[in-house]
């Protein structure tokens, strides 16, 4: 039973409730423009009321492609009157079960729903017609009226089993169509409200329709550019998670979609994973994203694609070794050895560790060889990473000759990269940093200024590089001006490194109390950040805050020990130990205090403890070498070994060259001593208040 247009014996027939008539009779009257006559024919032939006849006429016109004519017919329908007739009357109680059989009751409900479906479909088609004519806001209002009418008719929600399929189809279309209309009209708050109404009310939607709505809602929350706010209190249930902002709500929707797919309720849609990747990356939850990639069934993605995606997730979560291991599998000969993006990511990870740098060089060269001739951008990125890897590899070189060659190759690669991408700020910065580490301070100064101009002074590492280069040129007052300007330009939470450099500049300018004040401000900043963000901080952020606070106490301990304020230095050391019990820097500072007090045995013990915690800790090797030189001729060969090893790790360490020169002098090698003193003198003239490597 229903209203339908069938092809019977080559002619279209309209039928309802067992009655039927030829569609051609009605269409002929419509062609003549006689709507009233056509309406009367339908009312008499099919026993319809006014609204039902109008609804059927409008649908006929719409199906014939006469949108404007259909709209004129639909305009005559009084939806409110139809709803009142179709709603059960509260004043008239329903007949008792004895006086009315179950089959009669179901027949009455079915006929009522058929009539409702016809009228509501007409209003929905009216909304579609208005949209086609460009009247989007009016279309949205008509579509909304369909849903309002359904809520009046079914106050407890649409029942699952007894609903007419035509009525359910109309409701499903209207629920899905309304938020799209509001978006087309540019009324995004109304669209958000419609999406929430669609998902929170009982519309009896199928899984596919619900999934489409959830996905579109998530996309609007992520990319709509408006703040939705939390759902209303009426929509919240006790104990349920309530999203606080757009990002949380979008992530929740996308996770629900993934869960539905895993349960087999909907088909796989790769764009869901793309949107979830974007959302979780925005809030730094790449470890959570990695877990979702791991939970995907085999075959959902090619395995090398999944490995690459997981590598990006682990990289974002700070698990670089895990990321690199996945990339090694992805780049094997049996998988995808020429994937440029994977090669570049692997080279990037390797460029940050001097022990992996040689492997990174190979990845960068493979990426460079796979670049297309016309793709200058990828060539520039490959050369950029090659330069970084070569520079890092130079730090682990076993000989001065190899180190010099690698540094020269690194600068050559970075210079080639910058000719292909002249305005890349990151490339300008890394070239400047490489110049600075090679003590070409004039070139480094130029690059630092270019970087600040390119970024508008919004990135603190540019200011730090400029200040350190100026300090290497002994221009402390200018470096101080730069740091003060940087503190005005950068965000509050990014000022920690700037304040640390400011403290060290004050020490270099023989203003220790001003340095203490700078450290105090830095400590206050770290503690304020901890109180402000509290439990919202991720594990890496918590560790970063602890490290920053440790640096403050460690810096104060070193400062107080240089001023012979032993008690204050020990208090600061205790604070540093509480944050990082096994620190080579803390043990080294303790050794310096013991040495200054004349307790040589305890100083050597502290230095040995420092090296046991970090075998390549250069300041400790220098201190041991200097102490052994002071102890006399029997200890000179051992001291020379420590200082030579320190220079292998850090060739620009001025104090290592100086003490090695003293040992050579005492052992009678005057020419070698003179070379060491000359190196120490040259480095003193270009020694920054803080190592350039602290920026990278």
Residue 162 forms part of a structural domain: yes
Q: Is 319 helix (H, G, I), strand (E, B) or coil?
A: coil
| Cross-strand bridge partners of residue 19 | 16
Q: Are 606 and 664 in a shared domain?
A: yes
Mean pLDDT of 393-415: 91
Q: Is residue 175 part of a domain?
A: yes
Judge if 131 and 31 occupy the same domain.
yes
Shared-domain flag, residues 502 and 598: no
Q: Is 22 helix (H, G, I), strand (E, B) or coil?
A: strand
Average confidence (pLDDT) over 407-411: 95
Are 13 and 5 contacting, i.e. CB atoms less than 8 angstroms apart?
yes
Q: Assess whether 10 and 158 both reside in one domain.
A: yes
Q: What is the DSSP letter of 95?
A: P
CB 664 within 8 A of CB 680: no
Whether 526 shows a pLDDT value over 90: the answer reads no
Last residue within a domain, chosen from 140, 157, 186: 186
- Report the interhelical angle of 441-455 vs 460-472 (nearest 10°): 160
What's the chain's average pLDDT?
85
Residue 239 located in a structural domain: no
pTM of the model: 0.79
Print burial letters for 615-626: b (CB count within 10 Å at least 16), e (below 16). eebbbbbbbbbb
The structural domain count of the chain equals 3
Structural domain span for residue 178: 1-88+109-186
- What is the distance between the alpha carbons of residues 513 and 645, in angstroms, rounded to a whole number? 35
Task: Identify the weakest region by mean pLDDT among 234-238, 403-407, 645-649.
Answer: 234-238
Query: pLDDT, tens digit, for every residue of 594-634?
Result: 999 889 999 999 999 999 999 989 999 999 999 999 988 88
Residues 591 and 498 grouped into a single domain: no
* End residue of a domain, out of 542, 558, 574: 558
Distance linking the first and last C-alpha atoms of the chain: 76
211-268 confidence digits (pLDDT tens): 999 999 999 999 988 887 776 655 565 556 788 889 999 999 999 999 999 999 999 9
How many angstroms separate the CA atoms of 498 and 485, rounded? 10
Ramachandran bin of 456, using left for φ above 0, alpha for ψ from -120 to 50, beta for the remaining angles: left
Q: Which of 432, 459, 429 is nearest to 444 (CA)?
A: 432
The verdict on residue 604 lying in a domain is yes
- Give domain status of residue 388, yes or no: no
Higher pLDDT, 25 or 433: 433
* Residue 328 in domain: no
The answer to whether residue 464 sits within a structural domain is no
* 28 and 155 part of one domain: yes
Place of tokens 């040589």: 600
- pLDDT value at 18 more than 60: no
Q: What is the pLDDT of residues 333-364, one digit of tens each?
A: 999 999 999 999 999 999 999 899 999 999 99
Q: Any idea what the CATH number is for the domain that residue 50 is in?
A: 1.25.40.10
**In this structure, are 509 and 621 located in the same domain?**
no
Q: How far apart are CA 194 and CA 384, in angstroms?
A: 49
Average pLDDT for 493-519? 90
Residue with tokens 């995606």: 309
Whether 592 is covered by a domain: the verdict is: yes
602 shares its domain with 684: yes
Query: Are residues 591 and 665 located together in one domain of the fold?
Result: yes
Relative orientation angle of helices 303-316 and 320-330, to the nearest 10 degrees = 160
Residues 553 and 664 in one domain: no
């Amino acid at each position: 039973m229903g209203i339908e247009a069938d092809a019977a014996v080559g002619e279209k027939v309209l039928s309802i409730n067992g009655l039927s008539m030829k569609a051609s009779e009605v269409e002929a009257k419509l062609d003549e423009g006689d709507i009233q006559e056509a309406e009367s024919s339908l009312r008499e032939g099919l026993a319809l009321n006014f609204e039902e006849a109008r609804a059927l006429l409008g649908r006929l016109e719409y199906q014939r492609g006469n949108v404007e004519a259909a709209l004129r017919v639909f305009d005559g329908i009084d939806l409110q009157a139809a709803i009142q007739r179709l709603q059960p009357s509260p004043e008239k109680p329903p007949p008792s079960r004895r006086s009315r059989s179950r089959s009669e009751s179901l027949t009455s409900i079915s006929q009522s729903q058929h009539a409702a479906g016809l009228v509501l479909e007409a209003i929905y088609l009216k909304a579609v017609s208005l949209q086609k004519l460009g009247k989007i806001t009016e279309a949205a209002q008509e579509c909304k009226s369909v849903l309002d009418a359904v809520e009046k008719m079914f106050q407890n929600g649409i029942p699952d089993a007894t609903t007419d399929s035509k009525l359910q189809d109309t409701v499903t279309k209207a629920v899905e169509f309304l938020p799209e209309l509001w978006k087309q009209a540019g009324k995004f708050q109304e669209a958000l409200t419609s999406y929430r109404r669609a998902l929170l009310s009982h519309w009896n939607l199928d899984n596919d329709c619900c999934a489409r709505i959830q996905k579109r809602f998530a996309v609007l929350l992520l990319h709509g550019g408006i703040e939705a706010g939390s759902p209303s209190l009426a929509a919240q249930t006790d104990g349920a998670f309530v999203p606080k902002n757009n990002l949380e709500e979008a992530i929740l929707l996308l996770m629900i979609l993934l869960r539905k797919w895993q349960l087999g309720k909907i088909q796989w849609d790769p764009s869901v994973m793309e949107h979830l990747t974007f959302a979780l990356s925005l809030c730094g939850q790449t470890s959570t994203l990695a877990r979702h990639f791991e939970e995907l069934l085999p075959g959902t993605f090619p395995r090398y694609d999944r490995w690459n995606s997981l590598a990006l997730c682990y990289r974002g979560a700070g698990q670089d070794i895990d990321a690199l291991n996945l990339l090694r599998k992805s780049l094997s000969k049996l998988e995808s050895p020429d994937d440029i993006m994977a090669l570049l990511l692997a080279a990037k990870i390797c460029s940050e560790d001097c022990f992996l740098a040689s492997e990174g060089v190979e990845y960068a060269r493979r990426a460079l060889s796979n670049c297309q001739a016309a793709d200058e951008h990828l060539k520039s990125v490959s050369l950029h990473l090659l330069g970084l890897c070569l520079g890092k590899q130079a730090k682990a070189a076993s000989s001065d000759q190899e180190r010099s060659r690698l540094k020269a190759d690194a600068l050559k690669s970075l210079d080639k990269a910058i000719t292909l991408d002249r305005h890349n700020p990151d490339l300008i910065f890394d070239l400047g940093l490489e110049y600075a580490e090679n003590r070409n301070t004039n070139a480094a100064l130029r690059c630092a200024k270019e970087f600040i101009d390119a970024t508008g002074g919004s990135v603190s590492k540019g200011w730090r590089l400029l200040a350190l280069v100026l300090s290497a040129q002994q221009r402390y007052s200018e470096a101080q001006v730069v740091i003060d300007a940087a503190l005005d330009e950068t965000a509050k939470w990014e000022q920690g490194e700037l304040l640390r450099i400011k403290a060290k500049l004050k020490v270099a300018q023989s203003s220790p109390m001003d340095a203490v004040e700078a450290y105090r401000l830095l400590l206050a900043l770290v503690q304020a950040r901890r109180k402000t963000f509290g439990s919202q901080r991720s594990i890496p952020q918590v560790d970063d805050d602890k490290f920053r606070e440790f640096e403050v106490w460690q810096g104060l301990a070193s400062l107080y020990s240089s001023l012979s304020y032993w008690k204050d230095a020990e208090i600061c050391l205790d604070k540093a130990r509480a944050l990082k019990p096994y620190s080579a820097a803390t043990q080294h500072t303790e050794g310096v205090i013991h040495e200054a007090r004349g307790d040589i045995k305890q100083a050597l013990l502290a230095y040995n403890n420092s090296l046991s915690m970090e075998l390549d800790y250069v300041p400790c090797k220098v201190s041991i070498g200097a102490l052994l030189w002071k102890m006399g001729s029997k200890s000179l060969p051992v001291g020379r070994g420590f200082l030579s090893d320190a220079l292998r790790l850090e060739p620009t360490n001025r104090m290592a060259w100086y003490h090695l020169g003293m040992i050579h002098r005492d052992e009678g090698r005057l020419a070698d001593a003179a070379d060491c003193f000359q190196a120490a003198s040259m480095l003193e003239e270009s020694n920054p208040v803080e190592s350039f490597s602290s920026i990278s």
